[in-house]
Amino acid sequence: MAYKAGDSDHAPIPEWTLFLATPPHAKYLSGTVSVVTAAATVLQNFFEIEVAYSMETGGVGPNCFPAGVVTRQHKSLSEQVKEAQLARLYAGVHFNKSVVVAVTVGTTIVNSIDKHWLRVPPSGVLPDTPY
């Protein structure tokens, strides 16, 4: 109902039709976008470049839309993050600020982990592991 009702930052759009039921909570950052951003950031940090890829999504059943398996093409991981943001906006679940902040949160968490916990310790500090 966020788009239909509007808020202090957005004019109401009464004719808006939701794709999903509006969740019964206040405006929070998008967990979906935070997770997608975190996964994309891990891969970007590892490969140190933008990676083009494709993946199959979808399924069979009355709750699957679109029905069947669909191959999604992405030119970059950043494009996947943008798609996740738009999906949450078009579903009517979040306003733009909620998905923008979610990108910042996902990126910040992964970069903090990379900086503080993924450093290779000096030789002899920890036992060598097979991975």
Half-sphere exposure of 6 (CA within 13 A, CB side): 8
Alpha-carbon distance 18 to 93, whole Å?
9
SS3 state at 55 = strand
Chain mean pLDDT for the chain: 80
- Percent of the chain clearing pLDDT 70 (strictly above): 73
pTM score, whole prediction: 0.69
Quote the pLDDT of residue 126: 63
For 58-85, the pLDDT digits (tens) are: 766 665 666 667 788 889 999 999 999 9
Q: Alpha-carbon distance 88 to 22, whole Å? A: 11
CB 7 within 8 A of CB 95: yes
> pLDDT grade, residue 33 (50/70/90)?
very high
Say how far apart CA 75 and CA 56 lie, in whole Å.
Answer: 15
Interhelix angle 96-117/31-47, rounded to 10 degrees, is 40
